[in-house]
């Protein structure tokens, strides 16, 4: 069965659960993880993994490193790695500590401080990216065990997330004023199967390009609220900067027979 989420009338704002305060912890008290799996992802051994701009090769595939992290923001899937890699050298030359708030990323310069928000429960943490990985096309970031536990998905293994570089820390000289506006995305549908979500995403993408807004990202989020056995695939557009843009895009989607989207607001 397909579940599509539309609203009639003006665009509604959906507020997620209150978010805990951001924390950047260097070494929290080790939890009892005797029953935890070693990891849900396996970072590849160090193979010419550059910390700065340039590229590196892992298992025959070349990865490009961003020039810098300024204004970096991306939606994707987070996984974590743990005991098996505890104490091993990271790409930055530091020992991996599964109890520290750290992470691996394929493209961000090392080190970079990022905020990771779990889109399933609203939890968020700040972590230091000091390693390379995960080397899977469907994964965005690999978190330490402690970070995954703080985000509430250590037992499930993966979670849909937003990853944002914290410019005030990484590039203080380039930040004139701290941005406090919430992130707003437009959800054009929620489906019980991925194929339907992909069709919706394709339709949305064509509408955006046809209306000169092809620069706006369209993402499919695999989400679970813990009560459903089956995943729900949500189509998100954005982030959308202004209320005028939200109104314009809502009109575009209505004219394209998609319907009125839901506005999802993420606190920062």
Strands 73-81 and 159-165: antiparallel
Short-list 55, 30, 59, 28, CA closest to 42: 59
pLDDT per residue as tens digits for the range 169-205: 898 888 765 555 677 899 999 999 999 999 999 999 9
pLDDT at res. 52:
56
Question: CA 2, CA 112: separation in Å to the nearest integer?
Answer: 40
pLDDT at res. 256:
87
Task: Collect contacts of 89-97 with beta carbons under 8 A, ≥24 apart.
Answer: 89/46, 90/130, 90/131, 90/132, 91/46, 91/49, 91/51, 91/130, 91/131, 91/132, 92/51, 92/130, 92/131, 94/130, 96/131, 96/144, 97/27, 97/144
Fold of 54-174: Barwin-like endoglucanases (2.40.40)
180-266 is classed CATH 3.30.70.1070:
yes
pLDDT at res. 53:
62
Query: In the beta sheet, which residues pair with residue 265?
Result: 184
Strands 61-65 and 112-118: unpaired
Q: Which residues of the chain have pLDDT under 50?
A: 1-48
Q: Where are the domains of the chain?
A: 54-174, 180-266
pLDDT at res. 38:
44
């Amino acid at each position: 069965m397909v579940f599509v989420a539309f609203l009639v009338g003006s665009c509604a704002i959906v507020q997620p659960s209150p978010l805990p305060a951001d924390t950047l912890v260097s070494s929290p008290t080790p939890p009892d993880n005797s029953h935890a799996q070693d990891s849900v992802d396996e970072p590849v051994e160090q193979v010419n993994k550059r910390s700065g701009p340039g590229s590196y090769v892992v298992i025959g595939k070349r990865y490009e490193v961003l020039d810098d992290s300024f204004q970096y923001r991306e939606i994707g899937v987070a996984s974590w790695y743990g005991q098996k890699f505890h104490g091993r050298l990271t790409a930055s030359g530091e020992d991996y500590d599964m109890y520290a708030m750290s992470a691996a990323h394929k493209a961000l310069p090392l080190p970079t401080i990022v905020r990771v928000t779990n889109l399933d429960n609203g939890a968020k943490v700040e972590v230091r990216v000091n390693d390379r990985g995960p080397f899977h096309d469907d994964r965005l970031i690999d978190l330490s065990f402690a970070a995954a536990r703080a985000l509430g998905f250590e037992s499930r293994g993966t979670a849909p997330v937003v990853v944002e570089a914290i410019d005030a820390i990484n590039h203080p000289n380039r930040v004139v004023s701290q941005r406090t506006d919430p992130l707003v995305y437009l959800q054009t549908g929620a489906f019980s199967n991925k194929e339907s979500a992909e069709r919706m995403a394709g339709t949305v993408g064509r509408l955006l390009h046809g209306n000169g807004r092809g620069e706006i990202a369209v993402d499919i989020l695999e989400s679970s609220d813990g009560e459903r056995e089956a995943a729900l695939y949500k189509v998100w557009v954005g982030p959308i900067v202004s209320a005028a843009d939200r109104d314009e895009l809502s009109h575009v989607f209505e004219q394209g027979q998609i319907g009125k989207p839901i506005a999802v607001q993420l606190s920062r």
